[in-house]
Protein backbone atom coordinates (compact mmCIF):
# COMPACT_ATOMS: atom_id res chain seq x y z
CA UNK A 1 0.00 0.00 0.00
CA UNK A 2 1.33 3.44 -0.87
CA UNK A 3 -0.08 5.57 1.91
CA UNK A 4 1.54 8.78 0.65
CA UNK A 5 -0.02 8.37 -2.79
CA UNK A 6 -3.38 7.44 -1.29
CA UNK A 7 -3.54 10.49 0.95
CA UNK A 8 -2.25 12.66 -1.88
CA UNK A 9 -5.11 11.62 -4.14
CA UNK A 10 -7.68 12.41 -1.45
CA UNK A 11 -6.04 15.74 -0.71
CA UNK A 12 -5.92 16.80 -4.33
CA UNK A 13 -9.66 16.22 -4.60
CA UNK A 14 -10.37 18.66 -1.77
CA UNK A 15 -10.28 22.42 -2.44
CA UNK A 16 -10.52 23.36 1.26
CA UNK A 17 -7.53 21.74 2.91
CA UNK A 18 -7.72 24.17 5.85
CA UNK A 19 -11.07 22.75 6.96
CA UNK A 20 -14.63 22.23 5.79
CA UNK A 21 -17.81 20.79 7.30
CA UNK A 22 -19.59 18.09 5.33
CA UNK A 23 -21.91 15.09 5.75
CA UNK A 24 -19.81 11.95 5.35
CA UNK A 25 -20.25 8.28 6.05
CA UNK A 26 -17.35 6.77 7.98
CA UNK A 27 -16.54 3.08 7.78
CA UNK A 28 -14.10 1.29 10.05
CA UNK A 29 -12.98 -2.19 9.09
CA UNK A 30 -10.81 -4.40 11.26
CA UNK A 31 -9.28 -7.81 10.72
CA UNK A 32 -10.33 -10.02 13.61
CA UNK A 33 -7.96 -12.47 15.25
CA UNK A 34 -4.81 -10.91 13.81
CA UNK A 35 -2.93 -11.06 17.12
CA UNK A 36 -3.12 -14.83 17.18
CA UNK A 37 -2.29 -14.87 13.50
CA UNK A 38 0.93 -12.93 14.10
CA UNK A 39 2.01 -15.10 17.01
CA UNK A 40 1.98 -18.22 14.86
CA UNK A 41 3.80 -16.80 11.82
CA UNK A 42 6.94 -15.07 10.65
CA UNK A 43 6.71 -11.27 10.34
CA UNK A 44 6.86 -11.46 6.54
CA UNK A 45 3.92 -13.86 6.43
CA UNK A 46 1.87 -11.71 8.79
CA UNK A 47 2.44 -8.56 6.71
CA UNK A 48 1.57 -10.43 3.54
CA UNK A 49 -1.74 -11.69 4.94
CA UNK A 50 -2.69 -8.30 6.40
CA UNK A 51 -1.93 -6.57 3.10
CA UNK A 52 -4.09 -9.07 1.22
CA UNK A 53 -6.92 -8.28 3.61
CA UNK A 54 -6.50 -4.50 3.32
CA UNK A 55 -6.33 -4.80 -0.47
CA UNK A 56 -9.64 -6.66 -0.49
CA UNK A 57 -11.21 -3.96 1.69
CA UNK A 58 -9.77 -1.03 -0.25
CA UNK A 59 -10.80 -2.41 -3.63
CA UNK A 60 -14.38 -2.70 -2.42
CA UNK A 61 -14.37 0.83 -0.99
CA UNK A 62 -12.97 2.38 -4.17
CA UNK A 63 -15.23 0.42 -6.51
CA UNK A 64 -18.27 1.58 -4.53
CA UNK A 65 -17.30 5.25 -4.70
CA UNK A 66 -15.55 5.68 -1.35
CA UNK A 67 -11.96 6.54 -0.47
CA UNK A 68 -9.62 4.61 1.84
CA UNK A 69 -8.39 7.24 4.27
CA UNK A 70 -6.29 5.73 7.03
CA UNK A 71 -4.58 2.43 7.74
CA UNK A 72 -3.82 1.59 11.36
CA UNK A 73 -2.31 -1.84 11.91
CA UNK A 74 -4.70 -4.33 10.33
CA UNK A 75 -7.57 -1.85 10.20
CA UNK A 76 -8.83 0.73 7.74
CA UNK A 77 -10.94 3.87 7.88
CA UNK A 78 -12.82 4.75 4.71
CA UNK A 79 -14.91 7.78 3.81
CA UNK A 80 -17.98 8.03 1.59
CA UNK A 81 -19.64 11.25 0.45
CA UNK A 82 -16.69 13.42 -0.47
CA UNK A 83 -18.22 13.81 -3.93
CA UNK A 84 -21.82 12.69 -3.44
CA UNK A 85 -25.05 13.35 -1.54
CA UNK A 86 -25.71 11.86 1.92
CA UNK A 87 -28.16 9.32 0.51
CA UNK A 88 -25.72 8.14 -2.15
CA UNK A 89 -22.88 8.04 0.40
CA UNK A 90 -24.92 5.81 2.73
CA UNK A 91 -25.83 3.44 -0.09
CA UNK A 92 -22.22 3.33 -1.26
CA UNK A 93 -21.02 2.37 2.21
CA UNK A 94 -23.60 -0.40 2.53
CA UNK A 95 -22.71 -1.74 -0.88
CA UNK A 96 -19.02 -1.64 0.05
CA UNK A 97 -19.70 -3.75 3.15
CA UNK A 98 -21.28 -6.39 0.93
CA UNK A 99 -18.37 -6.28 -1.48
CA UNK A 100 -15.81 -6.50 1.32
CA UNK A 101 -17.34 -9.80 2.37
CA UNK A 102 -17.12 -11.08 -1.21
CA UNK A 103 -13.57 -9.80 -1.70
CA UNK A 104 -12.27 -11.35 1.52
CA UNK A 105 -13.37 -14.73 0.19
CA UNK A 106 -10.53 -14.55 -2.37
CA UNK A 107 -7.61 -14.43 0.12
CA UNK A 108 -9.42 -16.98 2.26
CA UNK A 109 -9.41 -19.39 -0.67
CA UNK A 110 -5.84 -18.53 -1.64
CA UNK A 111 -4.53 -18.94 1.92
CA UNK A 112 -6.76 -21.82 2.97
CA UNK A 113 -3.80 -24.19 3.27
CA UNK A 114 -1.95 -21.75 5.58
CA UNK A 115 -4.79 -20.53 7.80
CA UNK A 116 -6.29 -22.48 10.67
CA UNK A 117 -9.52 -20.55 10.18
CA UNK A 118 -10.80 -18.05 7.58
CA UNK A 119 -9.98 -14.36 7.87
CA UNK A 120 -12.79 -12.65 9.75
CA UNK A 121 -13.62 -8.96 9.87
CA UNK A 122 -15.67 -6.36 11.73
CA UNK A 123 -17.29 -3.30 10.12
CA UNK A 124 -18.74 -0.22 11.78
CA UNK A 125 -20.68 2.33 9.70
CA UNK A 126 -22.14 5.68 10.73
CA UNK A 127 -22.89 8.97 8.99
CA UNK A 128 -23.11 12.60 10.05
CA UNK A 129 -21.60 16.05 9.85
CA UNK A 130 -17.81 16.01 10.21
CA UNK A 131 -14.88 18.35 9.68
CA UNK A 132 -12.54 17.46 6.83
CA UNK A 133 -9.11 18.92 6.16
CA UNK A 134 -5.37 18.40 6.34
CA UNK A 135 -4.30 17.29 9.83
CA UNK A 136 -0.80 16.82 11.12
CA UNK A 137 2.51 18.63 11.30
CA UNK A 138 4.90 20.14 8.74
CA UNK A 139 5.59 17.55 6.03
CA UNK A 140 3.47 14.96 7.81
CA UNK A 141 0.04 16.31 6.94
CA UNK A 142 -2.76 13.95 5.91
CA UNK A 143 -6.28 14.59 4.70
CA UNK A 144 -8.87 13.09 7.04
CA UNK A 145 -12.18 13.60 8.84
CA UNK A 146 -12.81 14.55 12.46
CA UNK A 147 -15.95 14.58 14.55
CA UNK A 148 -18.47 12.64 16.57
CA UNK A 149 -19.78 10.71 13.56
CA UNK A 150 -16.29 9.35 12.91
CA UNK A 151 -15.85 8.37 16.55
CA UNK A 152 -19.21 6.58 16.60
CA UNK A 153 -18.33 4.50 13.54
CA UNK A 154 -15.07 3.45 15.20
CA UNK A 155 -16.90 2.49 18.40
CA UNK A 156 -19.47 0.45 16.51
CA UNK A 157 -16.67 -1.52 14.91
CA UNK A 158 -15.10 -2.21 18.31
CA UNK A 159 -18.46 -3.36 19.74
CA UNK A 160 -18.54 -6.26 17.31
CA UNK A 161 -15.93 -8.03 19.41
CA UNK A 162 -18.70 -8.97 21.85
CA UNK A 163 -21.41 -9.63 19.25
CA UNK A 164 -22.09 -12.40 16.76
CA UNK A 165 -22.12 -10.33 13.59
CA UNK A 166 -19.86 -8.94 10.89
CA UNK A 167 -21.18 -5.36 10.79
CA UNK A 168 -22.98 -2.77 12.88
CA UNK A 169 -24.77 -0.06 10.91
CA UNK A 170 -26.36 2.95 12.57
CA UNK A 171 -30.04 3.62 12.04
CA UNK A 172 -28.96 7.02 10.71
CA UNK A 173 -27.30 5.34 7.73
CA UNK A 174 -30.25 3.03 7.04
CA UNK A 175 -32.76 5.88 7.17
CA UNK A 176 -30.66 8.22 5.03
CA UNK A 177 -30.04 5.46 2.48
CA UNK A 178 -33.81 4.87 2.35
CA UNK A 179 -33.58 1.11 2.62
CA UNK A 180 -36.02 -1.31 4.19
CA UNK A 181 -33.97 -2.45 7.17
CA UNK A 182 -36.85 -3.89 9.20
CA UNK A 183 -35.58 -7.42 8.61
CA UNK A 184 -32.25 -6.64 10.27
CA UNK A 185 -31.99 -7.15 14.05
CA UNK A 186 -32.10 -3.81 15.87
CA UNK A 187 -30.62 -3.04 19.24
CA UNK A 188 -29.91 -0.06 21.43
CA UNK A 189 -26.26 0.53 22.28
CA UNK A 190 -24.62 2.99 24.63
CA UNK A 191 -22.14 5.30 22.92
CA UNK A 192 -19.57 7.07 25.05
CA UNK A 193 -20.27 10.80 25.05
CA UNK A 194 -23.95 10.36 24.11
CA UNK A 195 -26.67 10.81 26.71
CA UNK A 196 -29.12 8.58 24.84
CA UNK A 197 -28.57 5.06 23.46
CA UNK A 198 -28.26 4.71 19.70
CA UNK A 199 -30.23 2.32 17.52
CA UNK A 200 -28.06 0.14 15.31
CA UNK A 201 -28.68 -2.75 12.94
CA UNK A 202 -26.72 -5.96 13.46
CA UNK A 203 -25.60 -7.60 10.23
CA UNK A 204 -24.69 -11.23 10.92
CA UNK A 205 -23.39 -11.74 7.39
CA UNK A 206 -22.37 -8.61 5.48
CA UNK A 207 -23.29 -10.27 2.19
CA UNK A 208 -26.94 -10.18 3.26
CA UNK A 209 -26.98 -6.41 2.75
CA UNK A 210 -27.13 -7.04 -1.00
CA UNK A 211 -30.70 -8.31 -0.66
CA UNK A 212 -32.10 -5.28 1.16
CA UNK A 213 -34.77 -3.51 -0.92
CA UNK A 214 -35.27 0.21 -1.16
CA UNK A 215 -38.01 1.56 1.09
CA UNK A 216 -40.86 1.92 0.71
CA UNK A 217 -41.84 2.65 -2.89
CA UNK A 218 -39.24 0.72 -4.87
CA UNK A 219 -39.12 -2.71 -3.32
CA UNK A 220 -38.38 -4.40 -6.62
CA UNK A 221 -34.91 -2.88 -6.78
CA UNK A 222 -32.23 -4.15 -4.43
CA UNK A 223 -30.01 -1.78 -2.48
CA UNK A 224 -26.78 -2.90 -4.14
CA UNK A 225 -28.04 -1.83 -7.54
CA UNK A 226 -28.96 1.63 -6.26
CA UNK A 227 -25.79 3.70 -6.23
Secondary structure element (H or E) that encloses residue 155, with its range: helix 148-159
- pLDDT (average), residues 13-29: 81
| Spatial distance between the Cα atoms of 129 and 24, rounded to a whole number of angstroms | 6
Q: 1 lies in a domain? A: no
Number of independent structural domains in the chain: 1
Q: 192 lies in a domain? A: yes
How large is the angle between the packed helices 43-63 and 86-110, nearest 10 degrees? 140
| CATH (domain of 68) | 3.30.70.1230
Q: What's the pLDDT score for residue 220?
A: 42
| 10: confidence class by pLDDT, cuts 50, 70, 90 | very low
- pLDDT (average), residues 40-63: 89
Q: 12 lies in a domain? A: no
| Spatial distance between the Cα atoms of 215 and 180, rounded to a whole number of angstroms | 5
Q: Which domain holds residue 179?
A: 19-219
Mean pLDDT for all residues in the chain: 85
Q: 6 lies in a domain? A: no
Q: 9 lies in a domain? A: no
| Spatial distance between the Cα atoms of 109 and 36, rounded to a whole number of angstroms | 19
pLDDT in tens, 168-226: 999 999 999 998 888 888 999 999 889 999 999 999 999 988 888 766 544 444 555 45
Q: 227 lies in a domain? A: no
| 39: confidence class by pLDDT, cuts 50, 70, 90 | low
Burial tier of 29 (Cβ tally within 10 Å: 0-12, 13-18, 19+): buried
pLDDT of residue 53 exceeding 80, the answer is yes
Residues 6+ apart with CB under 8 A from 74: 30, 31, 34, 50, 53, 54
pTM (2 decimals)? 0.85
Q: What's the pLDDT score for residue 224?
A: 52
Q: 13 lies in a domain? A: no
Q: 147 lies in a domain? A: yes
Amino acid sequence: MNGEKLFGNAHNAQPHSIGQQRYLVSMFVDMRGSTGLAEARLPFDTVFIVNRFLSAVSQAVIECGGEPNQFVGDGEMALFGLHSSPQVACRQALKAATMIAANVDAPNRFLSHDLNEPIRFAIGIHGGEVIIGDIGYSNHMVFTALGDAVNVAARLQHMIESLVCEALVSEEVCVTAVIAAESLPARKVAIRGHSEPMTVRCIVHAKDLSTLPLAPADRTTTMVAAT
